[in-house]
C-alpha cells in the first residue's frame, strides 16, 4: 500500500493539476434586443464569461483572439502567468473578467441553430456585447484595465474609441490600429474562400463538417504565425517540417465550420483610424518584432500612435524562442512591463 501511495504522489507531482484561481465563476448573461451593425436584432444574445476574484476589487477585462475563448485565456502561458498570487493581475487583488466573444464558447453563434442565417457580426458587435455584459450584466461602472490579444487587441483599440474614459489603461497586443489590409486580410480571405468554395459546405447547411475548415486551421496559423526564426529552429530540414505539419493535420478539430468562418470574416471592416484621437486612457501597445500579421517594418504602428494622446509601444525582440504572432500569448515576455505600466 505504501508503494502505491508513493506512486500516486509521484504521478500527482509530475503530471500536475490545473491551477486554481481565486473565486472562479462561470456564467452566461443574456443581452435583450441586441442590435447588430447590420440592423438585424436578436431578441436574446447569450454572452459567456468567466470571472476571477471579488467584484469589490478593481476590474480588469481580458479579450481573447479569433476562435479562442474565455477559458482558453486561463492556460499556463497566459492565465497562470498573470492571475495567480503574486502575478501582475493577481486575482486576489483584481476582479478579472474574461468573455466569450460573439460566435464562440458559450456565447451565441451560428452552430446554435441559425447556421448561415446568423447575423454577419463584426468587431463592433463583439465590443458592444462585451460592454453590455460588463455594464448591465456585471454592474461594473469602470474598468482599471482592458487587455486583449490579437483579435482581442483590435477590440481593445475599439473599446478606447467607443467608450473613452471607461477604462484607465488599455493594453492592445498583437494588433495594429489601422484598417484590416495587406497580407493579413488576403490570408484571411483564403480561409473564407476555402470554406465557401468547398462543395461540402452547402451554403452553410451541411450535415457533416466540411474538411476545408480543419485544413485552413492548419494552413493559416503556419502561414501567419510561429515566427521565422522559431519555425526554422524547430524544422531545420524537410523531415522535421513534415512531422510538424502531419501532427497538426492529425490533431482533433472540433470547431464548427460556420462558427470558424464567421469568426475570421468578422475582421473585414476593422478600422479605428479616424477615431484614435478619442482615446483618453493610457495605452501600452505590445507587439513582437517577428509578428507576421503586424510586421513592424511597415512603420504603421508608429504613425498611428501619434494620433493617440498617451501611448507607447513595447516591441518584443525576435529570437528562436519567440513565435511570431503567437508570442504575446506567452505573458512571460511582457508581464513585467505590464506591471510597471499599471502601477
Q: What is the DSSP string of 126-186?
A: HHHHHHHIIIIIS----EEEEEEETHHHHHHHHHHHHSTTSEEEEEEES--SS-S-HHHHH
pLDDT bin (cut points 50, 70, 90) of residue 99 is very high
* Marked catalytic residue, from 108, 291, 323, 326: 291
| Paired sense of beta strands 41-52 and 25-35, if any | antiparallel
In whole numbers, what is the pLDDT of the chain averaged over residues?
95
b/e per residue 51-63 (b: at least 16 CB within 10 A): bbbeeebbbbbbb
Cα separation of 129 and 73, whole Å?
19
Cα separation of 155 and 167, whole Å?
13
**What percentage of the chain reaches a pLDDT higher than 90?**
94
Give yes or no: residues 195 and 93 share one domain.
Answer: no
203 domain-assigned: yes
* Marked catalytic residue, from 69, 107, 108, 150: 150
Per-residue pLDDT at 6: 35
Give yes or no: residues 173 and 318 share one domain.
Answer: yes
Burial of 254 (0-12, 13-18, 19+ CB in 10 A): exposed
Last residue of a domain, one of 242, 265, 288: 265
Closest of 129, 126, 147, 149 to residue 138, by C-alpha: 129
Q: What are phi and psi of 28, to 5 degrees?
A: -130, 120
Cβ(172)–Cβ(157) below 8 Å = yes
Distances 279 to 75, 255, 271, 341 between C-alpha atoms, Å: 30, 35, 14, 17
338 domain-assigned: yes
191 domain-assigned: yes
Residue linked to cell 491551477: 19
Closest of 88, 164, 171, 84 to residue 131, by C-alpha: 164
Per-residue pLDDT at 19: 84
Cβ(295)–Cβ(324) below 8 Å = no
Give yes or no: residues 93 and 151 share one domain.
Answer: yes
Cα separation of 343 and 88, whole Å?
9
Residues 198-227: what's their mean pLDDT? 97
* Marked catalytic residue, from 69, 212, 288, 325: 325
- Which of helix, strand or coil describes residue 119? coil
> Which CATH number belongs to the domain containing residue 226 in this structure?
1.10.1740
What digits encode the pLDDT tens for the residues 224-255? 999 999 999 999 999 999 999 999 999 999 99
Last residue of a domain, one of 213, 247, 265: 265
Q: Is the pLDDT of residue 1 over 70?
A: no
Give yes or no: residues 191 and 168 share one domain.
Answer: no
Last residue of a domain, one of 247, 265, 283: 265
Domain carrying residue 248: 182-265
140 domain-assigned: yes
Cβ(154)–Cβ(171) below 8 Å = no
Whether 325 is a known active-site residue: answer: yes
Residue linked to cell 499556463: 76
Give yes or no: residues 79 and 137 share one domain.
Answer: yes
Q: Is the pLDDT of residue 2 over 80?
A: no
Residues 72-81: what's their mean pLDDT? 99
What digits encode the pLDDT tens for the residues 12-46? 334 444 689 999 999 999 999 999 999 999 999 99
CA angle 256, 262, 263 (to 5 degrees): 90
The grid cell for 263 is: 469568426
Number of domains in the chain: 2
Give yes or no: residues 86 and 72 share one domain.
Answer: yes
Distances 317 to 170, 246, 305, 309, 320 between C-alpha atoms, Å: 21, 30, 19, 25, 10
The grid cell for 103 is: 460566435
**Order of strands across the sheet that contains 282-288:** 25-35, 41-52, 95-99, 59-63, 143-149, 167-173, 282-288, 311-316
18 domain-assigned: no
Amino acid at each position: 500500500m505504501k508503494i502505491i501511495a508513493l506512486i500516486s504522489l509521484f504521478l500527482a507531482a509530475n503530471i500536475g493539476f490545473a491551477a486554481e484561481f481565486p473565486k472562479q465563476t462561470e456564467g452566461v448573461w443574456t443581452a435583450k434586443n441586441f442590435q447588430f451593425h447590420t440592423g438585424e436584432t436578436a431578441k436574446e444574445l447569450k454572452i459567456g464569461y468567466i470571472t476571477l476574484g471579488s467584484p469589490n476589487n478593481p476590474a480588469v477585462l481580458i479579450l481573447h483572439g479569433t476562435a479562442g475563448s474565455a477559458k482558453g485565456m486561463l492556460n499556463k502561458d497566459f492565465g497562470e502567468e498573470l492571475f495567480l498570487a503574486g502575478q501582475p493581475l493577481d486575482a486576489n487583488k483584481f476582479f478579472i473578467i474574461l468573455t466569450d466573444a460573439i460566435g464562440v464558447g458559450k456565447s451565441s453563434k451560428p452552430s446554435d441553430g441559425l447556421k448561415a442565417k446568423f447575423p454577419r457580426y463584426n468587431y463592433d458587435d463583439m465590443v458592444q456585447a462585451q460592454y453590455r455584459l460588463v455594464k448591465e450584466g456585471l454592474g461594473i461602472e469602470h474598468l482599471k484595465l482592458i487587455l486583449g490579444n490579437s483579435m482581442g487587441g483590435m477590440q481593445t483599440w475599439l473599446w478606447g474609441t467607443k467608450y473613452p474614459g471607461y477604462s484607465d489603461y488599455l493594453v492592445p497586443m498583437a494588433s495594429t490600429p489601422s484598417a484590416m489590409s495587406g497580407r493579413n486580410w488576403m490570408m484571411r480571405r483564403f480561409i473564407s474562400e476555402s470554406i465557401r468554395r468547398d462543395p461540402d459546405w452547402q451554403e452553410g447547411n451541411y450535415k457533416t463538417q466540411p474538411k476545408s475548415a480543419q485544413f485552413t486551421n492548419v494552413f493559416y496559423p503556419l502561414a501567419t504565425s510561429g515566427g521565422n526564426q522559431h519555425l526554422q529552429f524547430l524544422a531545420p530540414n524537410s523531415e522535421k517540417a513534415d512531422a510538424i505539419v502531419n501532427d497538426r493535420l492529425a490533431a482533433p478539430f472540433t470547431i464548427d465550420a460556420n462558427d470558424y468562418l464567421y469568426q475570421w470574416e468578422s475582421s473585414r471592416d476593422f478600422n479605428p483610424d479616424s477615431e484614435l484621437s478619442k482615446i483618453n486612457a493610457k495605452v501600452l501597445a505590445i507587439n513582437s518584432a517577428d509578428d507576421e500579421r503586424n510586421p513592424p517594418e511597415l512603420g504603421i504602428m508608429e504613425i498611428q500612435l501619434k494620433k493617440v494622446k498617451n501611448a507607447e509601444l513595447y516591441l518584443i525582440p525576435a529570437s528562436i524562442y519567440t513565435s511570431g504572432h503567437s508570442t504575446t500569448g506567452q505573458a512571460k515576455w511582457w508581464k513585467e512591463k505590464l506591471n510597471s505600466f499599471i502601477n
